[in-house]
């Protein structure tokens, strides 16, 4: 294997994001293939026993087992790290493997975590159920409220955990304010950046310590595989996260890493085109529904903040209907082009009812507090022509009495 210029930070630091997305991290075999090779192997062989011993001792470069290292996975890790502006990255089996690993690798019994209440359902489950069960205290706050972050800090607060924009209500957390507050108190910020990706928002530029991903979403972008990633400093990734990951095994499968690696080549194009489509469709929807949550529209209470920290506003927005679940279901059931699906980040436009799907495992009170009302619908805008999406929504809205 030959590492290309893309793996040499001293030669790639000046590369612009679109170049990094296509080139960063590439290795080539002796065949000189243009497309990154898929190393579908769990193990490795060695020329002699001394080499094996040296590799196991960490004294010689080289791989020993795909739970620990794999060339295809390594290419993905370097590419994501370069896109993020991070020193290091470790790929994970899924977004939830990434979130769980990023939290558990650094927390212990007696620690305290402050988390934003608007979050992906399983992220809330970690905060509400898993961490407390293991003696880690958690406080859930309104992530939009900078004073609430400060008020929740205790002597033993170790981590701030949030996503922005948040799923599914598109709450925005002030990255600069919350990350600098955390820094001042020696607290590690863990940001779930799945909705935006580095193409639209780079939390580390605002002081975030750890950025974690579901790569299943916009990074793959075509709804094919589950994968995740955690980015951070060399010290965090290699000394805190890696010992946990190597021994617990949430590693990314080489095939899934390869699919995401190829997805990253078009990430910048897709993220920007889908964001533009989501603006166009959002403007149409705003005229037809009582309440829309779209960070790109002036009607979003945090529009200015979103504009400060995001390059574009993402592929997802939500809206609430006065007719509750019944009217929301009527819209979903009338769709002809847009698919009824709970996935996001896909090139296909997808719509779902969060209260009965992604956020169904939460209590009704927690849902109400988060703003996940019975009439809320979430839409991921894909790469179709927005005029066709608008026509489909137009006929579905009419059938639902809107």
Minimum CB separation of residue 73 from ligand PLP in Å reads 16
Nearer to ligand PLP, 260 or 396 (CB): 260
Nearer to ligand PLP, 6 or 165 (CB): 165
Footprint of ligand PLP (CB under 6 A): 94-96, 99, 120, 122-123, 163, 167, 192, 194-195, 214, 216-217, 226, 228, 344
Minimum CB separation of residue 388 from ligand PLP in Å reads 25
Minimum CB separation of residue 194 from ligand PLP in Å reads 4
Nearer to ligand PLP, 139 or 357 (CB): 357
Minimum CB separation of residue 11 from ligand PLP in Å reads 32
Minimum CB separation of residue 40 from ligand PLP in Å reads 21
Nearer to ligand PLP, 165 or 386 (CB): 165
Q: Which residue is nearest to ligand PLP (CB)?
A: 95
Cα 122 from Cα 342, distance rounded (Å): 14
Minimum CB separation of residue 213 from ligand PLP in Å reads 8
Nearer to ligand PLP, 26 or 197 (CB): 197
Nearer to ligand PLP, 95 or 232 (CB): 95
Residues ≥6 apart with Cβ < 8 Å to 89: 77, 78, 80, 81, 229, 230, 231, 232, 237
Alpha-carbon distances, residue 122 vs 16, 27, 298, 323 (angstroms): 34, 35, 30, 28
């Amino acid at each position: 294997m030959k590492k290309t210029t893309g793996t040499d930070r001293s030669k790639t630091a000046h590369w612009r994001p679109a170049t990094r997305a296509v080139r960063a991290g590439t290795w080539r075999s002796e065949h000189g293939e243009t497309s990154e090779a898929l190393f579908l192997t769990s193990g490795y062989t060695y020329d002699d026993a001394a080499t094996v011993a040296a590799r196991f001792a960490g004294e010689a470069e080289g791989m020993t087992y795909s739970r620990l290292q794999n060339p295809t996975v390594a290419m993905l890790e370097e590419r994501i790290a370069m896109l993020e502006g991070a020193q290091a990255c470790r790929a994970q089996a899924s977004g939830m493997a990434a979130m769980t690993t990023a939290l558990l690798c650094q927390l212990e019994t007696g620690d305290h975590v402050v988390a934003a209440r608007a979050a992906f359902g399983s992220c809330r489950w970690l905060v509400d159920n898993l961490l407390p069960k293991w003696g880690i205290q958690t406080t859930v706050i309104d992530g939009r409220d900078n004073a609430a972050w400060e008020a929740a800090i205790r002597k033993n607060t170790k981590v701030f955990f949030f996503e922005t924009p948040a799923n599914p209500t598109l709450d925005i957390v002030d990255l600069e304010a919350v990350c600098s507050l955390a820094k001042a108190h020696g607290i590690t910020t863990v940001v779930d950046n799945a909705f935006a990706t580095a193409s639209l928002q780079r939390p580390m530029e605002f002081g975030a310590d750890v950025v974690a991903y579901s790569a299943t979403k916009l990074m793959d972008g075509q709804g094919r595989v589950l994968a995740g990633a955690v980015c951070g400093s060399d010290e965090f990734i290699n000394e805190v996260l890696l010992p946990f990951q190597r021994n617990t095994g949430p590693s990314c499968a080489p095939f899934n890493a390869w699919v995401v690696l190829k997805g990253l080549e078009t990430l910048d194009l897709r993220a920007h085109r889908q964001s533009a489509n989501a603006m166009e469709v959002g403007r149409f929807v705003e005229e037809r529904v009582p309440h829309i949550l779209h960070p790109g529209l002036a009607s979003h209470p945090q529009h200015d903040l979103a504009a400060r920290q995001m390059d574009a506003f993402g592929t997802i927005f939500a809206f609430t209907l006065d007719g509750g679940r019944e009217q929301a279901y009527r819209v979903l059931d009338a769709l002809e082009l847009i698919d009824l699906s709970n996935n996001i980040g896909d090139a296909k436009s997808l719509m779902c009812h969060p209260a009965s799907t992604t956020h169904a495992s939460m209590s009704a009170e927690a849902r109400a507090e988060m703003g996940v009302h019975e009439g809320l619908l979430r839409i991921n805008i894909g790469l179709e022509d927005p005029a066709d999406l608008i026509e489909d929504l137009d006929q579905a809205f009419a059938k639902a009495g809107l």
